[in-house]
Amino acid sequence: MKSIKKFSIVIVAVVMFVGIFFITQVSASNQIVIRVAHPNVPQHPMGQGYELFKADLEERSGGVFRVTIYDSSKYGNFDAVVQGIQMGTLQMGSDATNNLSVFNPQLMFLDMPFIVPSYEASDLITDGPIGQRLAESLERNGIIGLGYIEIGFRQIFSSRPIRTLEDARGLRIRATHSRAHIDILRSLGMNPTPVAWGEVYTALQQGTVDAIDIDLNLAWFNNFPEITKYVTLTRSFYSPHLVMVSKVFFERLTPEQQNWIRESFEVMQQFQRETIRSNEAMILEKIKEGGGEIIELSTEERQRWIDATSGVAARFAKDVPPELIDEMKETIEAGLNN
């Protein structure tokens, strides 16, 4: 009798173990992995934002989603990220809108100089009909645009002071491969020099280039103030990133799962933008404490910079039509005056 009881207990234990094992395996097999790639370091507000997205989505979904983040371009360059998203081997990623202009030239819309005067104005463009329309244009390329996060406004970090247009002439400045970016720098009399992102710090340190125009957060978290004493606040143009989802992946999800991703993105977007913007005063103060000099252009001098670049938009009219420029200006004027 005792042996029968012992045998029964063993059977029950085995059944319970198999049941728990089976449930665990089923749960694991049902878990959806999202691989996310972005180009920034983890401590940058973009890196922090993606960590928040991961935590929020995994909790919101009750563990249905598991997020793996590839920061600092560890997944690869822009081409690798976009191809991965199109194929569905990478589920999410983000990059600068001007890089996505290979699919739709109008995504150079925010590369046009001195159109966006403030963060409030940038939100009107990216979160409004213009930004939504341009994001939706990528769906034919297998990319769903969730929305925009940001890098910020371009400022000049240089080894010599740039107070006037005359000071800018001949400045060897690092440029991206954006044709509009190069045109802006040339219009200001500078000598734009393309340098790969991973080589920028060394190029500035060794004097291969004298300057870089970049947003405050990206400069700070990549230690550029260590090797550039002067910061000229030009705010020449605003740089956003579009957060992308693989269309192949997204359309396989249930409506509820899609909503979880959108809701977690909104949490991340709000945090990322607020952090980018609130960091700026701190960064400027830290630069001054470290012996750097912050140069603010006078109203008259700033107008000279605007006038010097006034022909850029016309030269890119085929890519960014005048009607789109006018729509952006009207959207900003109407939104800021309300």
Residue 290 domain-assigned (yes or no): yes
Please tell me the total count of domains within the chain.
Answer: 1
Domain that holds residue 211: 31-337
Tokens of 259: 């909503």
Residue 13 domain-assigned (yes or no): no
CATH number (domain holding residue 205): 3.40.190.170
User: Helices in the chain by DSSP H: which ranges?
Assistant: 2-30, 45-60, 78-87, 119-126, 129-136, 165-168, 179-187, 200-206, 216-221, 247-250, 255-289, 299-308, 312-315, 322-337
pLDDT of 178 reads 86
Q: Using the Cα atoms of residue 239, residue 203, residue 43 and residue 264 in order, give the sign of their dihedral.
A: positive
Residue 23 domain-assigned (yes or no): no
Residue partners of 139: CB distance under 8 A and separation at least 6: 247
Q: How many CB atoms lie within 10 A of CB 333?
A: 12
The low-confidence residues of the chain, meaning pLDDT below 50, are: 1-28
pLDDT of 292 reads 97
Residue 314 domain-assigned (yes or no): yes
Residue 145 domain-assigned (yes or no): yes
pLDDT of 29 reads 54
Kindly tell me the burial class for residue 241, based on how many C-beta atoms sit within 10 Å of its own C-beta (0-12, 13-18, 19 or more): buried
Q: DSSP letter string over 181-220? A: HHHHHHHTT-EEEE--GGGHHHHHHHTS-SEEEE-HHHHH
Residue 1 domain-assigned (yes or no): no
Alpha-carbon distances, residue 326 vs 113, 313, 321 (angstroms)? 14, 11, 9
State pLDDT tens for residues 201-228.
999 999 999 999 999 999 999 999 999 9
Query: If you ran DSSP here, which 8-state letter would residue 253 be given?
Result: S
pLDDT of 143 reads 98
pLDDT of 194 reads 87
Q: What single-letter amino acid sits at 258?
A: Q
State pLDDT tens for residues 223-266.
999 999 999 999 999 999 999 999 999 999 999 999 999 999 99
β-pair type (211-214, 155-158): antiparallel
Residue 324 domain-assigned (yes or no): yes
Residue 3 domain-assigned (yes or no): no
pTM greater than the 0.85 cutoff = yes
pLDDT of 141 reads 98
State pLDDT tens for residues 256-292.
999 999 999 999 999 999 999 999 999 999 999 999 9
